[in-house]
Copies of this chain bind each other. A is one copy, B any other.
Amino acid sequence: MTRDRVLGLEAVLPNGDVVSSMHKLVKNNTGYDVRQFFVGAEGTLGIVTKAVMRLIPQPTSHEVALLSLPDYICVLKLLNAAESMSALSAFELMYGDYYCAVTQSNPDGRPIPDTSQYYVLIETMGYTPGADRSVFEAFLAKAYEDGLATEIVLANSDAQRQSLWAIRESVDIAVRALAPILTYDVSLEVADIDDYVLGIRSALERRFPGWRMIVNGHIGDNNIHIGITTGPDTKEHESEVNDIVYKPLAHLHGSMSAEHGIGTTKNGYLGISRSQEEIGLMRQIKHAIDPSNLLNRKVLFDDEAGGSGKDPRVTPEQFNG
């Protein structure tokens, strides 16, 4: 998570105070974690004006492979095995629908046939090229022997590595292929992802004859991205599709925003991923730091209550003790 790489920051509070917390230390347990008040708060508590990031040296080894897998159990087993590589830097799941959408414009350029339901791009980046290559090759060989992968393409040059990554990165091709499209960024426990995706697919199938869906994601971080079209009238069905995507997350304890935040469009769904007590606490914090609701007032909380003191959980008495 990028938030874990933020060592320090500076922020301007709604009252104009500049809070300097420009620490450069990995360990610093001297009171509340001021950084994390602002990271992910979407500008509702202060405006971040500087940040100290923890960097790492440029890696000197780089290995990339693309695999097709017979089923989701194999995806889970492959992820488990991949996490044993200390230099693992990416584990990108692509469902067959995404892989087809991206590669259909150039079928001859497909490194692996488009007949599988599951594709994974795996990458390691480290500092010991010889050893990292050996570990990566041994990992791939074992995955194949164990029946986790049906086909494997291992990149042998920068050009090949880029070309495999291009499949994962060509979201724009997939989005154009399905346009008009609604996009989602959710996270849930890895073991639940496939059932969740299949559930959405069934719901779309029952409701929208012209539906298509693409799914890919960084599942080691619990995160998948979903694109859905119901046909030319997609926008009209947005609320209904939102419900199909978001509602199952409540009982799965998933998040309706893994990395993109809430902004002004998702705040109506915050209660799916956060308990009422969490939202109440957030409002208390918002109200304490920004009592006049000056900053990004339409963001995160909904307009009616957010930071304005209208939330019944937050009363002036509470603040005055």
CB within 8 Å of B: which residues of A? 1, 3-4, 13, 15, 17-34, 36-37, 39-41, 45, 56-57, 60, 83-87, 126-128, 131-132, 134-135, 138, 187-189, 218, 220-223, 253-262, 270, 273-275, 277-282, 284-285, 287-289, 291-293, 300, 309, 316, 318-321
Contact = CB atoms under 8 A, between A and B. Distances in A.
A86 B86 contact: yes
Chain A contact residues: helix, strand, loop or mixed: loop
B134 A30 contact: no
29 contacts: A1-B26, A17-B281, A19-B278, A20-B277, A21-B275, A25-B254, A27-B187, A27-B223, A27-B258, A29-B255, A29-B258, A29-B261, A30-B257, A30-B261, A31-B279, A31-B300, A32-B40, A32-B282, A34-B282, A37-B281, A86-B86, A128-B138, A285-B285, A285-B288, A291-B318, A291-B321, A293-B321, A316-B319, A319-B320
Contact of A30 (B56, B131, B274): B274
Given A39-B33, A86-B127, A277-B17, A23 B291 contact: no
